[in-house]
Amino acid sequence: MTNHWVDYQNSDVFMNIGLNTAENHPVSMKWIEKAQKENDAKLICVDPRFTRTAAVADLYAPIRPGTNIAFLGGIINYVLKNEHYNKEYIQNFTNASYLIDPEFSFDEGMFSGANSEISEISYDKSSWSYQRDEDGEIIKDESLTDPNCVFQLLKEHYSRYDLDTVSEITGCPRDNFEEVAELFSSTGEPDRAGNIMYAMGITQFSHGSQNVRSIAMLQLLLGNMGVAGGGVNAQRGQSNVQGACDTGMLFHLVPGYMGVPRAELHPTLADYFEVETPDSGYWTNKPKFFVSLLKAFWGDNANADNDFCYDYLPKLDDRDRSHMTMFKEMKEGNINGLISWADNPAVSGPSAGSEREYLANLDWLISVDIFENETASFWKEPGVDSTDIKTEVFLLPAALHIERSGSITNSGRWIQWRNKSLEAPEDAKSDLWIADRLFKAVREAYQDEGGAFPEPILEMNWDYGEKPDPELVAQELNGYYTENGELVEDFTRLKDDGSTVSGSWIYAGYYNDEENPATKARVPETEGIGSHPGWAFSWPLNRRIIYNRAGADPEGKPWNPDRPVIWWNGNQWQMNDVPDFNAGVPPEETANTPFIMLPELQARLFAPGLAEGPFPEHYEPWESPIRNILSQTQFNPASRVLYPEDRAEVGSEDYPYIATSYRVTEHYQTGVMTRNMPWLNEAMPDIFVEISETLAEKLDVESGEKVVVTTKRGEIEVAACVTPRLKPFKVNGREIEMVGMLWHWGYAGASKGPVANDLTPSIGDANTNIPEYKAFLCNVRKGGR
Amino acid sequence: MPLTRRDFLKVSGMVAGGLFFNKKGQNLLKAEAYNDLKIEYATEAATICSYCSVGCGMISHIQDGELINIEGDPDHPINEGTLCSKGSSYFNMVNIYDDEGEARPNPGRVTKVFYRAPYSERWQVKDWDWALDKMAERIKETRDETFETTDDNGVTVNRTTAIAHLGSAMCNNEENYIFHKLVRSLGLVNIDHCARL
């Protein structure tokens, strides 16, 4: 999130798209409802179903799964056509005025530079670039009228997303859609704040990244970034998914969102700095953060003479190494061992039935959890002959959240401390203890026997005590001075000469005082805009609303004087938050540089870094009931197709219905925790699929009766739940039914049921390789036979 | 008499329905409830809910080493004391009630190290020392057999592509951070977690 939960109270219009806040982030609804009641704020809910969030919305709009780019693109077009944008904002704070290479073009769903016309293309992006003068400066047209400027290209691109076309694609009735566009674009008024919230109903598509881009672009056009009540607000699904990303639990990153060293690009540390450090913007400090990380890893062994042990970090090859690829590598026998902490891909993975088969190719599997999960017990699945499975499995007993101390980071980037209150039962141990002992056991084995390149293990900086102390780890994560061990105050103190240590630079400051660390702070705000700066620590630098320079106009006047984040009083900056700019200088010096993490210092309406194009373009999901209306390019041409044979053809008669997946409030993710809790099992006892009254009639099925749902990947038999919350979509002159699947169940735990993800496809977004769980094709027939 | 959850729901339903209020609107149960507050002698600790990412504050109440209650933290600026159905059921992750209405440890908890040998049809219970040695041996074998110091272009890579690691959105920051140190020291590049899904 660029903003945070309590800040929702400051919004004038909410667009809830691709998530169901009332069901999945229930407590946060209080801040939405507060804004509705006290500020006459309006909630728009855009969802394929009439959800619990829709039930309290002021305006509901149905949308066919997988058509968010068309929907959001239609609003962008509406904003541009009707001049609802904040012109001063986009002129000063975005790249709207930049001139683009005249070679840049777009035709039939493809941008210039496509290297082939089949799927999984990669683009030559040389024409997706800014025009520069002889000195290398970007050429701009502040009047925004040059046909090659970003603003004009944007208008041209989105002119195709007119009301009728959007309605045809999305299945949202034209008037209904226009009402949404009109209401949300009212936040283009400088003193009105629009908040777009999203979750997996935006990201889990073969074009998920471009869905998010569409949201960011719309928010920039309306001037909703950096203001209280605005923002691009990803509602994360798990209590510490934010923190797990911050600490680099992703193949392409090391902690603090720095790229992992790659063999091809960064053979040496000098190469890494050369390639990864931009010429301008805050990332010019990257070497300080990276060297501080290497010092955290290899301590006194890391020094300037040995490039701070840079070669001890493994280098990535030229491959994607994310979840789906990992399992494909297992399939092909290239991965022999898996360590899994409280993860359960046997239920959560796409085409999960196949993923379970691939687990049997492992020599060993280590799973750490509080209850027996389906991944650890994949060999016990009904119908599987375990005497055929070679895999050695270790299931390690973990402590509960209240049985261990440490911090977690919520969606609003608040790093909050958990205090241990209970001893773990019997042999259960904290994950910290388990990781500590496992590391020490491996280190001992290398000490005793030697082996392949043991130095990174033997020289690792690792001393958290006999019983590992999370506070010691926290101090290393925060960072300290090597000279005296004193904690660094914040990341502005970090150096690239080896004199500082920090495990994740963005966390510097969260634990900078041994006695009273900021992460444990518990002082609620008594007056202000709800920033609560004295409660916990919000990365970076305890900043609650990021990009907040854009919350005031170039002269420093807040766009909304009633809810100012920062403002210039004529002599100095005043603030309700930690400034995201140099507040030691008058406003004219930061008048057009609010986006400090980008080399341009201005936000990108035109983004040349993405895989499939600098502007989002509507493509159908990989599996779709219809041909793409907007161009001849059917699905995202840059998306990652892992198993082409697993695809139902466009408009397939065997799989005539759209399927999507979602959760209920009573259960959590793969259900490992909640399906072992009798109270929740009583409240929501069984898996079901939701179908419309019209489809139920056609299938001759009533609520509670069994139906069989099939896709190209598998089939499950579950109870049908017939509701008026689903209606068929009117798309391009046809009526198309949708089936909604819950997916919390599996064959372990106290409440058992089929694994719904056996049905979902393994097709990945072009930039992130997230699977397309939210839109695919299925068939349904009456079951129980 | 201990209340079962069902009785509790009945009682709370009656409270909600106003059955325990007299004609003046006074709560007839109130005085008795306050005299018998079960958390009166408990130790409190603040924590954060384990489910979604709103980050609601919770207070656990411990007495004689046992969890007797867990509820929303009224001082917390986000949830202001409230919790959802999952958060307010957290107690049930630790303890369930048996048919007599007595709390006992959730029988589903994994509290021992379980080991499944190749081609076996069952778990065996092991101790930590045995398991740690065995796991270290497996990791070392796989790593040593597959370790690459340089790639085809002669670039130093110091990696193994034969071991995969899934970190966790259920673990604390400090835990994920040391997972990262552990797996990079081993030379792993197959590193991911459920944020990808």
Query: Which segments of A548-692 does DSSP mark as H helices, in order?
Result: 678-683
Question: What pLDDT was estimated at residue A784?
Answer: 83
pLDDT tens string A715-752: 999 999 999 999 999 998 899 999 999 999 999 999 99
pLDDT more than 90, % of chain A: 98
When pLDDT is averaged across residues A624-648 and rounded to a whole number, the result is 96
Other CB atoms closer than 10 Å to residue A724's CB: what's the count? 9
Tokens 């992750």 belong to: B93
- The residues in B 76-135 lying below 8 A from A, measured between CB atoms, are 77-80, 82-87, 89-90, 92-94, 96-97, 105-106, 108-121, 123, 127-128, 131-135
Judge: B187–A453 Cβ closer than 8 Å, yes or no. Answer: yes
Q: Give CA–CA dist A389/A392, Å, rounded.
A: 9
Nearest to B168 among A341, A372, A423 (CB): A341
pLDDT at position A423 over 90: yes
Nearest to A460 among B138, B144, B185 (CB): B185
Judge: A524–B123 Cβ closer than 8 Å, yes or no. Answer: no
- The residues in B 141-180 lying below 8 A from A, measured between CB atoms, are 142-144, 146-147, 149, 151, 153, 155-180
pLDDT tens string A330-384: 999 999 999 999 999 999 999 999 999 999 999 999 999 999 999 999 999 999 9
Average pLDDT, chain B: 88
Question: What pLDDT was estimated at residue A120?
Answer: 73
pLDDT band at B124 (very low <50, low <70, confident <90, very high): very high
If DSSP codes are grouped into helix, strand and coil, which group holds residue B83? coil
Asked if A25 reaches chain B (Cβ–Cβ under 8 Å), the answer is: yes
If DSSP codes are grouped into helix, strand and coil, which group holds residue A461? coil
CB A548 within 8 A of CB A580: yes
CB B69 within 8 A of CB B37: no
Q: Give CA–CA dist A502/A539, Å, rounded.
A: 14
Q: Give CA–CA dist A187/A79, Å, rounded.
A: 10
How far is the alpha carbon of B36 from chain A, nearest alpha carbon, in Å?
23
Question: What pLDDT was estimated at residue B8?
Answer: 43
pLDDT tens string A660-694: 999 999 999 999 999 999 999 999 999 999 999 99
CA dist list (Å): A502 to A264, A479, A540, A697 = 27, 4, 14, 62
pLDDT at position A254 over 60: yes
Six-digit token string for A725: 């919350």
Question: What pLDDT was estimated at residue B3?
Answer: 44
In chain A, list all ranges with CATH 3.40.50.740.
323-449
Tell me which architecture the domain covering A640-782 has in CATH.
Beta Barrel (2.40)
If DSSP codes are grouped into helix, strand and coil, which group holds residue B148? strand
When pLDDT is averaged across residues A185-204 and rounded to a whole number, the result is 98
- In chain B the first and final C-alpha atoms are separated, in Å, by 47
CB A431 within 8 A of CB B172: yes
Burial of residue A585 (CB within 10 Å: 0-12, 13-18, 19+) is exposed
pLDDT at position A180 over 50: yes
Angle at A446 between CA A444 and CA A448, to 5 degrees: 70
Question: What pLDDT was estimated at residue B18?
Answer: 44
Tokens 């790639």 belong to: B151
Give phi and psi for A367, each to the nearest 5.
Answer: -125, 130
pLDDT at position A781 over 60: yes
Angle at B145 between CA B139 and CA B147, to 5 degrees: 85
pLDDT tens string B160-182: 999 999 999 999 999 999 999 99
- Hey, what's the torsion of the CAs at A504, A6, B80, B77, to 10 degrees? 50
Which residue, A743, A740, A624, is CA-closest to A692? A740
- Hey, what's the torsion of the CAs at A186, A191, A197, A203, to 10 degrees? 80
Six-digit token string for B60: 């656990």
pLDDT tens string A210-243: 999 999 999 999 999 999 999 999 999 999 999 9
Which of residues B26 and A559 earns the better pLDDT score?
A: A559
Q: Give CA–CA dist A230/A411, Å, rounded.
A: 15
CA dist list (Å): A470 to A405, A440, A463, A491 = 7, 16, 11, 21
When pLDDT is averaged across residues B37-55 and rounded to a whole number, the result is 95
Chain B interface, mutation test: which of A1, A8, A21, A27, most B Cβ atoms within 10 Å? A27
Flag the least confident range among A72-81, A610-619, B29-38.
B29-38
pLDDT at position B9 over 50: no
Six-digit token string for A637: 């041409």
Class of domain A323-449: alpha beta
When pLDDT is averaged across residues B71-97 and rounded to a whole number, the result is 98
Give phi and psi for A572, each to the nearest 5.
Answer: -150, 165
Residue at A454: amino acid letter: P
Question: What pLDDT was estimated at residue B30?
Answer: 52
Chain A interface, mutation test: which of B5, B9, B48, most A Cβ atoms within 10 Å? B48
Judge: A315–B157 Cβ closer than 8 Å, yes or no. Answer: yes
If DSSP codes are grouped into helix, strand and coil, which group holds residue A433? helix
E strand residue ranges, A464-562: 480-481, 500-501, 537-538
How far is the alpha carbon of B13 from chain A, nearest alpha carbon, in Å?
15
pLDDT band at B37 (very low <50, low <70, confident <90, very high): confident
pLDDT band at A464 (very low <50, low <70, confident <90, very high): very high
Average pLDDT, chain A: 97
Other CB atoms closer than 10 Å to residue A369's CB: what's the count? 25
**What residues have CB less than 8 Å from A59, skipping those under 6 apart?**
A42, A43, A44, A45, A179, A180, A183
Using alpha carbons only, how large is chain B's radius of gyration in Å? 25
If DSSP codes are grouped into helix, strand and coil, which group holds residue A325? helix
pLDDT at position B16 over 50: no
Q: Give CA–CA dist B181/A626, Å, rounded.
A: 48
Question: What pLDDT was estimated at residue B27?
Answer: 54
CB B151 within 8 A of CB B177: no
User: Domain extents for chain B?
Assistant: 5-105, 147-197
- What's the CATH code, domain B5-105? 2.20.25.90
Burial of residue B119 (CB within 10 Å: 0-12, 13-18, 19+) is middle
DSSP sequence for A5-16: TGGGGG-SEEEE
pLDDT at position A123 over 80: yes
Judge: A321–B189 Cβ closer than 8 Å, yes or no. Answer: yes
Which residue, A49, A62, A69, A47, is CA-closest to A620? A69
pLDDT tens string A29-52: 999 999 999 999 999 999 999 999
Give phi and psi for A573, each to the nearest 5.
Answer: -80, 135
Q: Give CA–CA dist A494/A291, Å, rounded.
A: 9
If DSSP codes are grouped into helix, strand and coil, which group holds residue A303? coil
Angle, helix A352-359 to helix A323-331, in steps of 10 degrees = 50
Question: What pLDDT was estimated at residue A439?
Answer: 98
pLDDT band at A115 (very low <50, low <70, confident <90, very high): confident
**What residues have CB less than 8 Å from A566, skipping those under 6 apart?**
A548, A549, A551, A552, A556, A558, A573, A574, A575, A576, A577, A579, A583
| Chain A hits for B47, Cβ within 8 Å | 401-402, 418-419, 421
Question: What pLDDT was estimated at residue A117?
Answer: 59
Q: Give CA–CA dist A601/A94, Å, rounded.
A: 8
Question: What pLDDT was estimated at residue B32?
Answer: 53
Q: Give CA–CA dist A740/A755, Å, rounded.
A: 14
Q: Give CA–CA dist A29/A8, Å, rounded.
A: 9
Question: What pLDDT was estimated at residue A475?
Answer: 98
Give phi and psi for A681, each to the nearest 5.
Answer: -65, -30
Question: What pLDDT was estimated at residue A121?
Answer: 85
Nearest to B51 among A239, A313, A439 (CB): A239
CA dist list (Å): B173 to A408, A439, A461, A545 = 6, 17, 18, 22
ipTM score for this prediction: 0.97
Nearest to B155 among A315, A348, A369 (CB): A315
Angle, helix B173-186 to helix A431-449, in steps of 10 degrees = 20
Asked if B29 reaches chain A (Cβ–Cβ under 8 Å), the answer is: no
If DSSP codes are grouped into helix, strand and coil, which group holds residue A625? coil
Q: Structure pTM? A: 0.95
When pLDDT is averaged across residues A60-74 and rounded to a whole number, the result is 98
* Bond from prior residue into A540 cis (ω within 30 degrees of 0): yes
Asked if B16 reaches chain A (Cβ–Cβ under 8 Å), the answer is: no
